[in-house]
Structure 1
Amino acid sequence: MSPRILFSASEAKWHEYEGHLRHSLSAAGITAELSPDLGPPEEVDYVVYAPDSDVQDFTPFTRLKAVLSLWAGVEDVVGNTTLRVPLTRMVDSGLTEGMVEYATGHVLRHHLNIDHALAHQSGNWVRHVPPLARHRHVTVLGLGVLGAACARALAGLGFIVAGWSRTPRDVEGVTCLSGPEGLEQALARAEILVLLLPLTPGTDSLLNAAHLDQLPPGAVVINPGRGPLIDDEALLAALDRGDLGHATLDVFRTEPLPPEHPFWAHPKVTVTPHIASETRAETASEVIVENIRRCEAGLPLLHLVDRDLGY
């Protein structure tokens, strides 16, 4: 029997993904029914899923084999008690490449003090010579697929890179730290801090007032990970005191970021509108179809979410 695949995301996403999914299914030799409306849920084998979709109760999907998320973050669905089948998250090569480009671009921007050059085009010959990358300490919090890729890229540029994760990791060229003591060490050396942790109850507001105080004076924070990783009020207070040099933020607790939010007008904050990395339909479709192929063949799923860890 051909697998039946429900595409449970927005209409715009359906138009974006349909052609790529059908192409990937054909390339994999899979004959399947694919639609945003397959009729009775008890006849659905797979759900290609965005956590903001209309499907919030999985109980009627009695034949369901797996839920395949289009998002890298699964914090909005991992705790759903009606979801009792395997859940996978999106690990997409295009998403990884985009995140590496964003992180390295903004680390270099702050390392080279490009903002100062752009703000002082007045004819005054004021020289600010940056240190070499091999003299600059960068810390990446989170050493999953995205964090490890960014850490390796920054190390490849010559930066002194440390990475922290809740469980021990090993990334070539990176000083890998873990646990509470490791976090203190990672923060204390972070002239530039990049946040790429998943959002879990244990990481919500991880960068709070106490942890901000552990950063070196004038440190820069770059957050392309998850908005709630940061205590917004504590961050603004540290910027206002001069303890932090700058914050470049791509993700926020409320998105779009409200026009009245103080981040917009703060002279030491750069806001980018959640563009650090985007799932590309072409490459993401290949990931989705590969997991369907594996499941149909009785093979382990890729990027399976650990419900206890939350990612």
Structure 2
Amino acid sequence: MINVLFAAHPSRWDIYEKPLRDALIRAGIPANLAQDIAPADVDYIVYAPNSDLQNFTPYSRAKAVLNLWAGVEQITGNKTLKIPLARMVDPGLTTGMVEWVTGHVMRYHLGMDRHIVNPNHVWKPHTPPLAAERTVVILGLGALGTACSQMLLKLGFSVTGWSRSPKEVAGVTCLHGENGLRRALAQAEIAVTLLPDTAATTNLINAQTLAQMPRGAFLINPGRGPLIDDAALLAALDRGQIAHATLDVFRTEPLPKDDPYWAHPSVTVTPHIAAETRAKTASETIAENIRRGEAGEPFINLVDRELGY
């Protein structure tokens, strides 16, 4: 019997217990799944960073920590964690992100706001360009950025992607490094940020990089709050350098009621809803990693501790 500890916020147990048990059975894994297992007996830890479990030292037998979240920045710096850490790459989460990003890209591309918000009933026909005439830039070509870029390509957009290191994505103009970032931003009529939160990406969207974008560009951030220098973005919005921003993630969540983003006419705030882990599909991913661990196969979605993702 394999002991699997569920170490997440107690409210998540009711959501995950049955899908996890079902996924483990389908994977042929005889498992004791519980919220309370003696640390020395635990084989795998299904984990969320807001768990009370912060000291991994007593878990001497554990083979891996399987994160329920796509983001791992709250755990990668934990000095007591010495075993493999896998981040969540969930097909349901990916699909949700693709749908959310595509919706907001199309909103900006088609200029929907001018018709949705039209209190003076102004009749002013406007014909948007075709998708092929619009460049969308994806900052971050991990699993989520790649999936979003593929959907936007199917819709006909010209898609450029940027990453810190070289990547290849079919149909996407892939750029990397500092020079690549400048080239990407220069053509970013609509920019989508899907980068991890690391020391290298903090405040990547700042006064200098915002100024490199075409005047009147749009910014969509479903990635991480610290990617954006908030004061710089508000200033760019005030002067029209950025026409509008849709922000789903923030440094402080929930976003404080007095935060200037709420009141800014050129900002849409969404409450961290772009992509949510789905219990059923996430449970399949976790069960597969446990199966791999028991079979002596490499874990999937392992985190590189040096890179932080």
Give the deviation of 1:121 after TM superposition. 5.3
Give the partner amino acid of 1:259: K
The reply on whether 1:279 has 2:294 as its aligned counterpart is no
Give the partner amino acid of 2:69: W
**How far, CA to CA, are the matches of 2:257 and 2:64 in structure 1?**
39
**Structure 1: stretches of 5+ with no match in the other structure:** none
Deviations 1:214-262 (CA, angstroms, capped at 9, x unpaired): 1100010000011111000100010011111000000000000010000
**How far, CA to CA, are the matches of 1:237 and 1:122 in structure 2?**
28
Give the partner amino acid of 2:8: A
**How far, CA to CA, are the matches of 1:259 and 1:187 in structure 2?**
31
Deviations 1:50-86 (CA, angstroms, capped at 9, x unpaired): 0110011111111111000000010000111110000
Give the partner amino acid of 1:107: V
| Percent identity of paired positions between Structure 1 and Structure 2 | 62
**How far, CA to CA, are the matches of 1:254 and 1:158 in structure 2?**
36
The reply on whether 1:263 has 2:267 as its aligned counterpart is no
Give the deviation of 1:122 after TM superposition. 3.8
**How far, CA to CA, are the matches of 1:124 and 1:67 in structure 2?**
57
**How far, CA to CA, are the matches of 2:121 and 2:96 in structure 1?**
36
How much is the aligned-residue C-alpha RMSD, in angstroms?
0.8
- Residue equivalent to 1:54: 52
TM-score by length of 1: 0.98
Corresponding pairs, count = 309
**How far, CA to CA, are the matches of 1:251 and 1:123 in structure 2?**
33
- Residue equivalent to 2:306: 308
**How far, CA to CA, are the matches of 1:123 and 1:289 in structure 2?**
55
- Residue equivalent to 2:184: 186
Structural mapping, 1:64-213, within 5 Å = 64-120=62-118, 122-213=120-211
- The list of structure 1 runs, each at least 4 consecutive aligned residues, that deviate by more than 6 angstroms after superposition, is none
Structural mapping, 1:177-256, within 5 Å = 177-256=175-254
- Residue equivalent to 1:24: 23
- Residue equivalent to 1:35: 34
**Structure 2: stretches of 5+ with no match in the other structure:** none
- Residue equivalent to 2:9: 10
Give the partner amino acid of 1:130: P
**How far, CA to CA, are the matches of 1:229 and 1:49 in structure 2?**
25
**How far, CA to CA, are the matches of 1:119 and 1:308 in structure 2?**
46
**How far, CA to CA, are the matches of 1:92 and 1:16 in structure 2?**
16
**How far, CA to CA, are the matches of 1:12 and 1:283 in structure 2?**
18
**How far, CA to CA, are the matches of 1:233 and 1:261 in structure 2?**
11
Deviations 1:133-168 (CA, angstroms, capped at 9, x unpaired): 111111000000000000111111111110000111
Deviations 1:9-44 (CA, angstroms, capped at 9, x unpaired): 011111100000000111111111111111x21111
